[in-house]
Amino acid sequence: MIQILQQLVTSVSVGGLYALLAVGYALIYSVFDFTKLAFGGIMMVSAFAGYFATKLGVPTAAAMLVASAAGVLISVAVELLAYRPMRKRNANRLFLMISAMGVNIFITNLFLCLFGANLRALPTGFSSNTIALGPLRIGVVDLLSLIVSVVALVLLTFFLYRTRAGVTVRASALDMSTAGLMGIDVNRVSLIVFAISGITAAIAGMFFGMKYNVYPAMGSISNKAFIASVIGGLGSLKGAVIGGFLLGILEIMVTAYISATYRDLVSFAVMMIVLIFLPNGLFGMGDQNKL
């Protein structure tokens, strides 16, 4: 029983990172009806920014802010340079997704050429420390990632449901064309959404780098967040969060009690099963499933 509880503690922190990335997927899909597949590259660039900041002597907390700023900049740049010109020409959503894949591949390979494939450890100073809660051992990084993830999700919920800018995002999610006719600046909304998604990717990237390492291919973890978003229901923030935590628990349990070899296989199998019986995900309601 203690071992199961220990695995659950670990899985919740991993699920929090998945939930952060999945929320970014949900935001983009709810407003633009296409999936932003460049999250991996944005997450990786942000983690590298945080890493180089710590190498210059910047404290870890301040490096998180540096990573978030980098995430916002690269995410907004992707929107302005890759997506907006295509959206203005009413490009097919499939082409937008292909463009996102191209951006992700370009960023990943650019950093691979510039910095190589070497693993870089974030010098946090507490990466191996643990806290004892009775028979349970909780890693400091795991605990911090869970707390920061939950706080970020709560702040995002407050922003969307308690601020004027959040109302414009939700209105655009329901119908962007109508929102534009009602006087909402949809270009401003797009910048807000992409900036938020950049912050969530940066936070996930920093904690992933603290827990494991920073390297150009680390963005592949965003594929798991996409699975979590699909399981929960694309476009649903609640579904993204729950899907992220469920996937984190599932993967850790499979790794602990079956084999790490089957972790990815089980994740994709669960997504396929959910889509067969619930095509819109656990909390999806088709076009009504908006934020």
pLDDT band at 14 (very low <50, low <70, confident <90, very high): confident
d(CA 12, CA 248): 6
Mean pLDDT within 218-246: 87
Where does the chain have alpha helices with state H?
Answer: 2-32, 39-55, 60-78, 84-88, 93-115, 140-162, 164-174, 176-181, 186-211, 222-232, 237-257, 263-277
Mean pLDDT within 126-132: 63
Q: What is the pLDDT of residue 112?
A: 92
d(CA 161, CA 183): 19
Q: What is the pLDDT of residue 11?
A: 81
Mean pLDDT, the chain, integer: 85
Instruction: Examine the pLDDT at 1 and tell me if it is beyond 80.
Output: no
Q: What is the pLDDT of residue 71?
A: 94
Q: What is the pLDDT of residue 288?
A: 52
Domain ranges of the chain: 23-218
Mean pLDDT within 67-86: 91
Instruction: Examine the pLDDT at 40 and tell me if it is beyond 70.
Output: yes
- Who has greater pLDDT, 44 or 121? 44
Cα 70 versus chain centre, distance = 15
Instruction: Examine the pLDDT at 237 and tell me if it is beyond 80.
Output: yes
d(CA 256, CA 105): 32
Contacts of 30 (CB under 8 A, 6+ apart): 173, 235, 236, 237, 289, 290, 291
Mean pLDDT within 57-86: 90
pLDDT band at 126 (very low <50, low <70, confident <90, very high): low
Contacts of 6 (CB under 8 A, 6+ apart): 136, 137
- Who has greater pLDDT, 36 or 73? 73
- What value, to the nearest 5°, has the Cα angle with vertex 274 and ends 272 and 277? 110
Q: What is the pLDDT of residue 128?
A: 56
Q: What is the pLDDT of residues 137-194, one digit of tens each?
A: 777 777 888 888 888 889 988 998 899 988 898 888 877 778 887 888 888 988 999 9
- Counting residues of the chain whose pLDDT is more than 70, the rounded percentage is 93
Contacts of 18 (CB under 8 A, 6+ apart): 224, 225, 228, 243, 244, 245, 247, 248
pLDDT band at 108 (very low <50, low <70, confident <90, very high): very high
- Find the helix packing angle between 263-277 and 222-232, rounded to 10°: 30
Q: Which of 63, 55, 43 is CA-nearest to residue 108?
A: 43
Q: What is the pLDDT of residue 69?
A: 95
d(CA 174, CA 90): 18
pTM of the model: 0.88
